[in-house]
A = this chain, B = another copy of it.
Amino acid sequence: MKNKKIPKATAKRLSLYYRYLNILHEDGKTRVSSSELSEAVKVDSATIRRDFSYFGALGKRGYGYDVEELMNFFSHILNQDHLTHVALIGVGNLGHALLNFNFRKNNNIRISAGFDIKEELIDTVYHGVPIYSVDDMVEQLNIQSIDVAILTVPADIAQETANKLVEGGIKGILNFTSMRLSVPKEVRVHDVDLTNELQTLIYFINYYKDIEDLNKANEE
């Protein structure tokens, strides 16, 4: 297996490309150019071509890319043929929403276990997902050989819960808590920081307003 180094920035766009290729395929399109795709995914066409080229010559000059071929290629790259079992830690408001969320539209991802401390949740089944006690978490993670966890617990127990996840042999954590986690370097953490996203958006809006004001002021 060829193993050129794929830049992080490129890797983060692969899933997006794959999704839009699926849409094009469903719409019956057979070919697509980098500039067409660029309009859809809002990524510069040169960046798209560059991204694709890390995986070899996938298109044809003067023609573009074959939608189905490219889709199948990315399907493989993104492990669509292998089912990844995911655990949901903390079945509160957000956890609940994520259980119901369309991850299953991607048939390579399945939330196969939930964990919580609330007695009334333990040993129940939500949306087809059994909920266990956090006390049994390390054990269950091992038994079910789960290696990805979605963390949606309160901030004050985020780190200790992460420690247990590591103990349970987890390889990746999608961290929705407001805390930054300390984990061994072989465990990968992706932060989804909703408060930060919203605050940053607001900052940018105000910042750009200032810039516009400044531009007006500079017309002297």
Contact = CB atoms under 8 A, between A and B. Distances in A.
A25 interface: no
B16 A196 contact: yes
Contacts of A77: 203
A15 B199 contact: yes
A6 interface: yes
A123 interface: no
A204 B172 contact: yes
Interface string A1-34: 1010010000110111011000000000000000
A201 B15 CA distance: 10
Interface string A185-216: 01010101111111111111111101100100
Question: What is the oligomeric copy number?
Answer: 2
Interface in A94-113: 94, 96-98, 100-103, 105-106, 108-109
A121 interface: no
A196 B146 CA distance: 19
A40 interface: yes
Given A3-B214, A97-B96, A11 B203 contact: yes
A172 to B, nearest CB: 5
Contacts of A211: 3
A171 interface: yes
Contacts of A203: 11, 14-15, 77-79
B11 A195 contact: no
Given A93-B96, A147-B205, A194 B192 contact: yes
Contacts of A41: 180
A118 B205 CA distance: 31
A42 interface: yes
Contacts of A150: 198
A99 to B, nearest CB: 9
A70 B201 CA distance: 21
15 contacts: A3-B214, A14-B203, A15-B193, A15-B196, A15-B199, A15-B200, A16-B180, A16-B196, A19-B178, A78-B203, A93-B97, A93-B100, A150-B198, A188-B201, A190-B200
